[in-house]
Copies of this chain bind each other. A is one copy, B any other.
Amino acid sequence: MNFRELMDSKYKEIIEHYLNEQDEKALYLGQKFSRKSIEHHVSPEEIISLHKSVMLEMEPNIPHHVLHAFDILLEVMIGYGFAYREHQSLRSKQQELNNEIDIASNMQQTLLGTSIPAVEGLDIAAVSVPAKKMNGDYYHFVQDENDSVSVAIADVIGKGIPAALCMSMIKYAMDSLPEYRNEPNAVLESLNRVVEQNVDASMFITMFYGVYNSHKHLFSYSSAGHEPGFFYNAHAGHFEDLDAKGLLLGVDKKAKYRQYERRVEVGDMIILLSDGVTECRTEEGFIEREDLVELISQHKHLTSDEIVTNVYKELEKLQHFELRDDFTLIIIKRIS
């Protein structure tokens, strides 16, 4: 026999048990009954009707005022039943949408996938975690035949599905400009034109593009309004901002970008990030860039992979596992 047929007698039993013993066990059985009735899509107005009929059965002399008043309670509960049915429908819709987004985010990972270059003398690692399921941050490595490593990190202003859609565009645009991959300013200028032309005027993208020449150990880079990275100077033992000026992509199709250079010694680190790392909000307010430097510094003796993982885990916990923005952190460490 199914629950719906049994529920009347079951409910009556629980009530009788409770009236005899007035103990916690009966209330617990009430909670279990509730779980079951929800599982079987019994709506709250049915519960009221059930309660009324059990009362009438157990107490035939129930004052008729008390009995009739249940009609009003039932009427009020119908409204809750409305909400309750909508809840069930929203829940299945939500699950459908979640499935879709899961598939899309897998696709995105396939489309945007990049592998960490293995270059003699460099220890490279990256972590990129979306705040929602789709990532509006993007990073990409390309290793050329001369062991130059180019690295791009970008952030769409905005999150979720629209940002992800926008990022796919950047990826295709990048795929189709291999000629001047080694000139950061030219890359940004070209991408800027694509974004300006193709993307909704309300969408902007920040991007940092750098090329590491692993023979000369020279890092050249340009930035389109992107969160500045850090440079760890091992000899001096301190962190510096990796400042670079430049307009966001998509604002002005004629934007020009300046190119910067930096020599990298053994033990030095290049740290690239998205603003989701620095704008991590905790109960005590935002994380400051200094706090982040402090956090990285605590782990700087570890491998790049361990550093990015540890920093991510600690910041995730500080935010109670609710990222407010996509989070991307890249470390390039010269080890020999």
Instruction: Tell me the A residues contacting B by CB distance below 8 Å.
Output: 14-15, 18-19, 22, 26-27, 30-31, 33-35, 37-38, 44, 47-48, 51, 54-55, 58-59, 61-63, 65-66, 68-69, 71-73, 75-80, 83-84, 86-87, 90-91, 93-94, 97, 100-101, 103-104, 106-108, 110-111, 158, 160-162, 164-166, 168-169, 172-173, 176, 198-200, 203
Set B27, B61, B71, B80: member contacting A18, Cβ < 8 A:
B71
Distance (Å) between the CB of A313 and the closest chain B CB? 26
Q: Are A104 and B68 in contact (CB under 8 A)?
A: no
Give bound CA distance, A72 to B11, whole Å.
9
- Given A84-B84, A100-B161, A103-B158, 16 new contacts (CB under 8 A): A18-B68, A34-B75, A34-B77, A34-B80, A38-B83, A47-B76, A47-B80, A55-B69, A84-B87, A101-B161, A104-B160, A110-B198, A110-B200, A111-B165, A165-B165, A176-B176
Q: Are B165 and A27 in contact (CB under 8 A)?
A: no
> In chain B, what residue has the closest Cβ to A55?
B66
Give bound CA distance, A63 to B66, whole Å.
10
Q: In the complex, which residues of chain B have a beta carbon less than 8 angstroms from the beta carbon of A30?
A: 72, 75-76
Stoichiometry, copies per complex:
2
> In chain B, what residue has the closest Cβ to A101?
B161
CB<8 Å pairs between A and B, sample of 12: A19-B65, A19-B69, A26-B72, A31-B79, A34-B75, A34-B76, A34-B78, A35-B79, A59-B63, A80-B80, A80-B84, A103-B161
